[in-house]
A = this chain, B = another copy of it.
Amino acid sequence: MTTTATIAATAHERLVLAKDASRQIGLLTDEAKAEALRAIADAVAGAADRIIAANADDLERGRANGISDGLADRLRLDLPRVHSLAAAVRDVADLPDPVGRILEERVLSNGVHLQKVAVPFGVVGSIYEARPNVTVDIAALALRSGNAVVLRGGTAAQQTNAALVAVMRAALDALGIDPEAIQTVDDFGRDGAHALMQARGLVDVLVPRGSAELIETVVTQSSVPVIETGAGVVHIVLDESAPVEWAERIIVNAKAQRPSVCNAVETVLVLRGGAERLIPPVSAALRAAGVTIHGDEEVRAFVPEAIPTTEADWSTEHMSLDVSLRIVDDLDAALAHILRYSTHHTESIITTDEKHAERFLAEVDSAVVMANASTRFTDGGEFGFGAEVGISTQKLHARGPMGLPELTSTKWLARGAGQIRP
């Protein structure tokens, strides 16, 4: 297989080509987009050897540069991983087309017929880190929603991403679709990321994926509108009325099922009236699941082996089997703690007191607010979206898990017969 189309020489040229290509992509039918994604899936699976060879080059360079085992594992592609990448693209192909949905419709008294319809953004940019699966994921989600895509992955995965992009572009080209709809600016290093962040008018939206530092950089440096997918300092509140069984089950699930993800709980706030009844069994269940508890003096009266908390604990996303426990006076104190330390991702309360539940749901200002459920449910797949673009922690455009419809904008269509404004 060869790289069908030459990749333009400058980042700006590539962005212009992506913008041009976005007009063709935006007008493709549902079936044409699904077919393009199936062709990409077949091409990725068919080029597994080439992709794995490029990945081996990245891994070797990484080892020479002394990258960590964790990074190497995120970077590594083997045959099962390549096939699961292709399968994920086929899943996206099967999703309903988000473009063309009529979101509002009305006929004005003068007879003008108004429709608000979903349209593609145009060009979606993404800046992300070492996982090469993001390269294929974002490209598939963008194309399925009628957008061209410009990718900027981590330097560590540069050969892998180049191979993946070449394979995807060739698959489009073979179908007569402009391959310039998929672009990478990886080979320009920091300049590529900078060009992407300053490409107002060429790139319509930028979705950073990765560490809090990466997202902060993109949000503060970009003049292209950004959808912020943020870190999760996630809280669970144990009300005085919390059933022990729910408290144990939900907190263990929320912390230990997959501690390295953004919807894992970081801080458990226990209302003082329930502390004596709830802390001993919950902390025992957590310890049985391998969790290290951090607590202040009050907590350590119940859990002597807890690590003393510091102020930093309350704003830390551990990404590990660590959880901070705190006793608070009442629901007001719990809400005040969340207001101060939450990243507004997900919070849950365990309670049988409906007034406390409804107050919590109304007053907590986070993307997802729960009563009596595990915070691990904050996920596009769990919400039934079929795919997830990311979890937005901002309030503009999209909040919480984002599916394909969140990669579309809208436009108003007005059909008249000579009407003028009086």
* Contact with A400, one of B243, B368, B412 (Cβ below 8 angstroms): B412
Contact B121 A414 (CB under 8 A): no
- Any chain B CB within 8 A of the CB of A362? yes
Contacts of A415 in B (CB 8 A): 357, 361, 370-373
Q: Is the CB of A361 within 8 A of B413?
A: yes
For A367, A370, A374, A412, the residue with the greatest tally of chain B CB atoms inside 10 Å of its CB is A412
Task: Give bound CA distance, A245 to B389, whole Å.
Answer: 49
- Chain A interface residue count, CB cutoff 8 Å, equals 71
Q: Cα distance A275–B396 when bound, in Å?
A: 45
Instruction: Tell whether A416 pairs with B371 under 8 Å between CB atoms, given A27-B362, A363-B27, A397-B397.
Output: yes
Which B residues touch A225, using CB under 8 A?
225-226, 394-396
Q: Is A13 an interface residue (CB 8 A)?
A: no
A223-B219, A361-B413, A411-B365 known; A382 vs B250 contact (CB < 8 Å): no
Question: Which single residue of chain B is at the shortest CB-CB distance from A226?
Answer: B225
Q: Say yes or no for A246: interface residue by CB 8 A criterion.
A: yes
Determine whether the beta carbon of A414 is less than 8 Å from that of B368: yes
B418 A382 Cβ-Cβ under 8 A: no
A50: interface (CB < 8 Å): no
B246 touches A382 (CB 8 A): no
Inter-subunit contact B227/A419 (CB<8 Å): no
Copies of this subunit: 2
**What residues of chain B lie closer than 8 Å to A348, measured between beta carbons?**
414
Label chain A's interface by main secondary structure: mixed
Q: Are B376 and A420 in contact (CB under 8 A)?
A: yes
Interface status of A90 (Cβ within 8 A of chain B): no
Instruction: Say yes or no: is A125 at the interface (Cβ < 8 Å to chain B).
Output: no
Whether, in the assembled complex, A399 has its beta carbon less than 8 Å from a beta carbon of chain B, the answer is yes
| Stretch with Cβ within 8 A of B (4 or more), from A106-114, A164-172, A302-310 | A106-114
Q: Is the CB of B412 within 8 A of A367?
A: yes
| A412 in contact with B205 (CB, 8 Å) | no
For the complex, is A153 an interface residue (Cβ under 8 Å from B)? no
The yes or no answer to A324 lying at the interface (CB within 8 A) is no
Known: A27-B362, A257-B421, A368-B413. 9 other contacts (CB 8 A): A112-B373, A114-B383, A121-B395, A246-B418, A348-B414, A361-B415, A369-B411, A374-B419, A396-B397
9 examples of A-B residue contacts, CB within 8 angstroms: A227-B396, A348-B414, A371-B415, A372-B419, A373-B418, A374-B421, A396-B397, A399-B410, A401-B412
